[in-house]
Amino acid sequence: MSQRPLSPHLQVWRWHVTMLSSILHRASGVALYGLALLAVGWLLALSMGPTTFAGVQTVLGSVLGKLILVAAGGAVGYHVTNGIRHLVWDAGHGFTPKVASMASWISLIMGVVGAAWVAGRVF
């Protein structure tokens, strides 16, 4: 099997923004699984009473907590925008290189916007 020719892989291709947007959709999706678990933790803490809730709020208010929230804002902004793009693809549109690259940049920008928006609120 190792002697057989392989299809061109990453190092052979000129870098293109669609490569980044493709893998970032997965990465942000996995990160958002974590965010969803955090959100459930927040709800559970709230349901347990003021003392537990205050503890969670203190953690979220720490520098690390704020950074996690900013990253979550970025992941949401990116995954939602790029997710809509996936739905457009599923409908059969947006496959030309020009549109695909432009959509990649829009998704990336929306990720930055999401992170910046959260940063503006927590810092």
Partner 1 sequence: MSQSQPSQFRTPLSRARGLGSAQSGLKHWIKQRLTAMVALPLLVWLLYALVAHGVDSYATARAWVSAPQHAIPLLLALVLVFTHAALGLQVVIEDYIHKPLSKIILLVLNVLVAALAAFAGIFAVLRLSFGV
Residues of span 36-75 touching partner 1 by CB under 8 A: 36-37, 39-40, 43-44, 46-47, 50, 53-54
| Beta carbon of residue 60, minimum distance to partner 1 (angstroms, whole number) | 11
| Beta carbon of residue 12, minimum distance to partner 1 (angstroms, whole number) | 20
Distance, in Å, from the CA atom of 115 to the CA atom of 119, rounded to the nearest integer, reads: 6
Tell me which amino acid residue 12 is.
V
Residue 19 interacting with partner 1 (CB under 8 A): no
- CA 48 vs. chain centroid, Å, equals 30
Buried b (16+ CB within 10 A) or exposed e, 66-83: bebbbbbbbbbbbbbbbe
Write out the residues near partner 1 by the rule CB under 8 A: 1, 26, 29-30, 32-33, 36-37, 39-40, 43-44, 46-47, 50, 53-54, 80, 83-84, 87, 90
